[in-house]
Amino acid sequence: MNRHNAKMNAFALRLLDLDSSDRVLEIGFGGGLILPGLIEKAGYTGGVDRSSSMVRQAATRFSEAIAAGTADFREGNIEALPFEPESFGKVCTVNTIYFWTSLDAGFTEIHRVLAPGGRAVIGFLPKEWMDRGGFPPDIFTSRATDDVLAAAKKAGFKDPRVERPATTTRWVVILARK
């Protein structure tokens, strides 16, 4: 999955526009494809994943950053992020919205952990393409871009918009500000 998602992850990382003063959260980091970039560029990197084995792998792989107090990885889910309100300036999640039980709940939680003026970057393959993949509906919920934008607005994000590196790109990245 990491190789398949590499371009979307790289684009999402660019949209975050990180610097050393940033506190960033990655939701659903899985194999940790962009964690090295986050840790290298941000002052602090938090991560949450629903898989305890992914959290353990990240803790082992990035043990130096954890020991330095610049990284923290926790088990959890989008509906109840295990971090304090307004504790991050930037949040990133790629190809996780298919697993959210509710777009509204997910965006509400992202909004809660973002500081005022914070930036959220959400990458995914829209419903019209996801449905062609034959993914099992009991595991994946395809999401239409308009539904994702509407949920972001409902949660209080200002002017969420679609970003793409090219109009021919099937995947989209939503950029939203608190």
| pLDDT band at 129; cut points 50, 70, 90 | confident
How many structural domains comprise the chain? 1
DSSP secondary structure, the chain, as one string: -HHHHHHHHHHHHHHH---TT-EEEEES-TTTSSHHHHHHHSSEEEEEES-HHHHHHHHHHTHHHHHTTSEEEEE-BTTB-SS-TT-EEEEEEES-GGG-S-HHHHHHHHHHHEEEEEEEEEEE--HHHHGGGT--TTT-----HHHHHHHHHHTT-EEEEEE-SSTT-S-EEEEEE-
What is residue 131's predicted lDDT score, i.e. its pLDDT? 81
Q: Which domain holds residue 98?
A: 2-177
What is residue 3's predicted lDDT score, i.e. its pLDDT? 54
The enclosing domain of 39 has a CATH number of: 3.40.50.150
Decide if pLDDT at 4 tops 70.
no
> By mean pLDDT, which of 43-57, 75-89, 143-157, 159-173 is the weakest?
159-173
Decide if pLDDT at 6 tops 90.
no
Query: How do residues 13-55 score in pLDDT, each as one tens digit?
Result: 999 999 999 999 999 998 888 999 999 999 999 999 999 999 9
